Chains A and B, each alone.
Chain A
Amino acid sequence: MPSYSSDRRSVLKIFGAIGATCAYPFASDELFGQTAPPHHHPAVQSTAAEHFLNDTDFKTISRIADLIIPETDTPGAIGAGVPDYIDMVISRNLDHQTIVADGLRWLDAEARRTNEKPFMELDEHQQVGILEPLCEAADANPANPARTVGFFALLKSLTADGYYTSKIGLIDELGYSGNAARESYPVCSDMKHG
């Protein structure tokens, strides 16, 4: 049974991040990288030389992110710098580090089992063939306890967060045009929803 006593510690990170304001249910959407207190760590400058993950793991993570959000008429996850964001979040979170290390180990084992090659040497069709069942399992049950599913769900969350908060994702892909001063708010008939 859920307890309805407010556990201050569990809400602390949200309060800390949104300033103990009116806690709208979906305000937490903005709390990217929320699993670590953002102010207690120096900002990670993402240059290739300073990745937390080793080169092999970073490349694999990058590949998975780009399969989740590929290049279309706008760049995909790699083009938007999402792997750097994922690396930064993982570097700050011990749980994520364990999940990712286990997940990457499993991924290569699975690739060798099914196609007798490491994951990065498979073609796109084969790579998607390994990831898609995990994606479907996570979609069907976001709380799926399987560690492999949790690994994929984590990478998908981080990829989505990183991509749609990037300039490429938010502005070029989604077309965000707010944050502009306007004299008055237009009536609906003057707005263009196509």
Chain B
Amino acid sequence: MEQKIYDVVVVGSGAGGGTLSSRLAQLGADVLVLEGGPKVNTRTDFNTHALPFEFPSRHIPIMKPGKPGYDAERSRGLGGKTMLWNAVALRFSQRDFKGRQHDGAGEDWPFDYSEIAPYYDRVERQVGVCGNLDHLKDLPDGVFLPPVPLKCTDIAIQKGAAKLGVKVIQVRKATLTRARETRPACHFCGNCMSGCDVAAKYNSLDAHMVPALKTGKLTLQQNSIVYELPVSDEAKIKEVRYFDRETRAEGVARGRVVVVACACAQSVALLLMSKSSRFPNGLANSSGELGKNFIPHITAGIELFLKDFIGKPEVNDEGFLDHAYIPSFMHDRKRDYPRSFGVQFNYQNHRSAGWARSMKGMGKSYKESIKARYPAYVTFTGYHEMLPNKDSYIDLDTETLDAYGLPRPRRHWKLADDDWRLHNDMIRWCRAILEASNAEIHSSTPQPATNHEVGGCRMGTDPKRSVVNEFCRAHDVPNLYVVDASVFPSSSEKNPTLTIMALAERTADHIAQRLKKGEA
């Protein structure tokens, strides 16, 4: 029997793959999504409402007993990371797309904010993003649902920050504050990052793919771990090779177009694994840039107690984790480094008090000091951009294979002098804001950490310096696209997911046009 040739085969079903595949199916393309992880039912499979004492280990497992998913790096389940994200949805600004023009360092994107703005609009309308119209130059407003009120503890920090001329805004999240047809509004149970069992928080399965399945044009195939994309003599992807996560049975899928959307490091790893005589250093890697330019967000975190709340009665202010955000402000101030930072804070939930371990003392006074500080506890984490450098890259660990016998992606990163200046200034500002907010610092992360993987498969106009073009299409392979944060030429300090989704919409339209014209 002749195997079906899809218009588009998409590898991965998260923010990138889920958005793109749904858009293409809505436009009438025949789409197959291959997902390495098992099927997940958001309504029944997560321990969203569990409390720690229900488990002997006191650790709340993500999944209910017998429900697979999220058990390894390569098999996250349908929906990818959007199942467990915190849903912060920020638009990048013109400065973020043209950082080099703004402060003379790093890399520009090949297009302006105005080019992608309509796609942000479209994504926000589809998925529902709550937020306030803040009229900030560096954090463009969007099409928002009503924002959620600040917590009392947020307001204390808002007042403190204001003393330094720093603005605290209501957070923007892809979480419904008004019910939609198939998704209710958030009910503020406070456990967003353990899987939202009503799908008020965006996940790509419930918000994008389930509606698209009704077109009959979208096929979801889970448990299919893609390990190689072989190329033909014309440098096109011939087929997509995968094996079944459970049985290890091998299979192939064919599509006119192949989209890799496995979440940054995994996408880079898949291309690096797909070596051939034509591409001995990895697929679509004639530039040698594949894996390079890894620019994750760099963070520094502080745990603190707001003195004005110590000893106050505990109230239920869990909400939907963080309700506030400190947008970038340094980009407009005098500084001795390029780029900037933003701060996410008050994102803890109150289901535990891990900080009690490191409170001083023992006995009655120890117990009392913890109770007194419980309503006053706040987390506070700055996020900053880093610029590409030669020591920050993704490669394959070919010696310690994963459970499927595949090499693992290895992340290497190192801050350059400019990054360190930015990092240290971010910490100074965080501490100054907290001091102005009458905070008692409890702990600080001892060294920089990464979050939000970005880069490794850079987008650009010059095929010698980038892997994909402005439509996320590989320079070397005309029917290959990469749609996730690996293609970002610069990371901004803003959370990447909304931009991944806008890029996916734009790329989907581009692919649909090519299919229509018979170019693919």
* Interface, chain A (partner B; CB < 8 A): 2, 4-6, 8-9, 15-34, 38-39, 43-46, 67-70, 72, 76, 85, 88-89, 128, 131-132, 135, 139, 142, 156-157, 160-167, 170, 173-183, 185-188, 191-194
Smallest CB gap from B409: residue in A: A8
B272–chain A nearest beta-carbon distance, Å: 16
Let me know if A19 and B356 touch, CB within 8 A.
Answer: no
Let me know if B314 and A175 touch, CB within 8 A.
Answer: yes
- B58, B350, B381: which contacts A85 (Cβ < 8 A)? B58
* Residue B499 at the chain A interface, CB threshold 8 Å: no
A9 to B411, CA, bound (A): 12
* Interface, chain B (partner A; CB < 8 A): 49, 51-53, 55-62, 70-73, 76, 81, 83-86, 148-152, 155, 187-191, 193, 299, 301, 303, 309, 312-320, 323, 347-364, 366-368, 370-371, 374-375, 379, 381, 397, 400, 408, 410-415, 445, 447-452
For the complex, would chain B's binding face be called helix, strand, loop or mixed by DSSP majority?
loop
Smallest CB gap from B148: residue in A: A185
Let me know if B59 and A32 touch, CB within 8 A.
Answer: yes
Smallest CB gap from B349: residue in A: A178
A177 to B189, CA, bound (A): 10
List 7 interface pairs A-B (beta carbons < 8 Å), by A numbering. A6-B411, A8-B410, A19-B70, A25-B301, A26-B354, A29-B355, A76-B367
Let me know if A194 and B360 touch, CB within 8 A.
Answer: no
Let me know if A24 and B314 touch, CB within 8 A.
Answer: no
Q: Which of A5, A38, A67, A160 has the most CB of B within 10 A?
A: A160
Let me know if A18 and B62 touch, CB within 8 A.
Answer: yes
- B152, B303, B357, B411: which contacts A160 (Cβ < 8 A)? B357
A41–chain B nearest beta-carbon distance, Å: 8
Let me know if B414 and A30 touch, CB within 8 A.
Answer: no
- B312, B317, B354: which contacts A161 (Cβ < 8 A)? B354
Let me know if B348 and A26 touch, CB within 8 A.
Answer: yes
Let me know if A181 and B351 touch, CB within 8 A.
Answer: no
- B190, B354, B408, B448: which contacts A179 (Cβ < 8 A)? B190
Let me know if B362 and A156 touch, CB within 8 A.
Answer: yes
Let me know if A20 and B76 touch, CB within 8 A.
Answer: yes
A69 to B359, CA, bound (A): 12
- B83, B149, B351: which contacts A176 (Cβ < 8 A)? B351
A105 to B86, CA, bound (A): 47
Let me know if B381 and A25 touch, CB within 8 A.
Answer: yes
Let me know if A24 and B362 touch, CB within 8 A.
Answer: no
**A5-B412, A8-B410, A188-B151 are known contacts. Are A174 and B354 too (CB-CB below 8 A)?**
no
- B72, B190, B400, B449: which contacts A25 (Cβ < 8 A)? B449
**A142-B358, A157-B357 are known contacts. Are A70 and B315 too (CB-CB below 8 A)?**
no
- A2, A23, A32, A180: which contacts B57 (Cβ < 8 A)? A32
**A161-B58, A191-B315 are known contacts. Are A67 and B190 too (CB-CB below 8 A)?**
no
- A19, A157, A162, A174: which contacts B84 (Cβ < 8 A)? A19
A32 to B15, CA, bound (A): 30
For the complex, would chain A's binding face be called helix, strand, loop or mixed by DSSP majority?
loop
B residues less than 8 Å from A192 (CB atoms): 313, 315
Let me know if A68 and B352 touch, CB within 8 A.
Answer: no
A9 to B408, CA, bound (A): 11
B253–chain A nearest beta-carbon distance, Å: 25
A193 to B374, CA, bound (A): 12
A5–chain B nearest beta-carbon distance, Å: 5
- B59, B312, B445, B447: which contacts A30 (Cβ < 8 A)? B59
**A162-B58, A175-B374, A178-B349 are known contacts. Are A8 and B149 too (CB-CB below 8 A)?**
no
In the A-B complex, list the 7 residue pairs whose CB atoms are closest, starting with the nearest: A29-B354, A25-B301, A21-B84, A175-B314, A178-B318, A165-B52, A19-B70
A194 to B376, CA, bound (A): 13
A63–chain B nearest beta-carbon distance, Å: 13
Let me know if A194 and B52 touch, CB within 8 A.
Answer: no
Let me know if B361 and A135 touch, CB within 8 A.
Answer: yes
**A174-B314, A178-B190 are known contacts. Are A22 and B451 too (CB-CB below 8 A)?**
yes
Smallest CB gap from B150: residue in A: A188
**A44-B56, A72-B367 are known contacts. Are A16 and B353 too (CB-CB below 8 A)?**
no
B150–chain A nearest beta-carbon distance, Å: 7
B519–chain A nearest beta-carbon distance, Å: 37
A69 to B452, CA, bound (A): 38
Let me know if A177 and B81 touch, CB within 8 A.
Answer: no
A9 to B148, CA, bound (A): 39
Let me know if A68 and B362 touch, CB within 8 A.
Answer: yes
A residues less than 8 Å from B53 (CB atoms): 165-167, 170
A130–chain B nearest beta-carbon distance, Å: 12
B residues less than 8 Å from A180 (CB atoms): 189, 316
**A8-B410, A161-B58, A161-B357 are known contacts. Are A24 and B451 too (CB-CB below 8 A)?**
yes
A5 to B447, CA, bound (A): 13
Smallest CB gap from B75: residue in A: A20
Let me know if B367 and A21 touch, CB within 8 A.
Answer: no
Smallest CB gap from A12: residue in B: B73
Smallest CB gap from A179: residue in B: B189
Q: Which of B76, B86, B370, B445 has the most CB of A within 10 A?
A: B370
A residues less than 8 Å from B52 (CB atoms): 30, 32, 165, 170
**A26-B303, A32-B52, A157-B357 are known contacts. Are A38 and B149 too (CB-CB below 8 A)?**
no
Let me know if A20 and B81 touch, CB within 8 A.
Answer: yes
Let me know if A178 and B193 touch, CB within 8 A.
Answer: no
Extra contacts, 18 of them, besides A88-B56, A176-B350 (Cβ < 8 A), are A5-B411, A19-B84, A22-B193, A23-B451, A26-B355, A29-B348, A68-B362, A76-B367, A85-B58, A161-B356, A174-B314, A174-B371, A175-B314, A178-B190, A186-B149, A188-B149, A191-B317, A192-B313
Let me know if B350 and A21 touch, CB within 8 A.
Answer: no
A43 to B451, CA, bound (A): 32
Q: Which of B323, B354, B412 has the most CB of A within 10 A?
A: B354
- A72, A165, A173, A177: which contacts B352 (Cβ < 8 A)? A165
B residues less than 8 Å from A17 (CB atoms): 59
A27 to B31, CA, bound (A): 36
Let me know if A21 and B81 touch, CB within 8 A.
Answer: yes
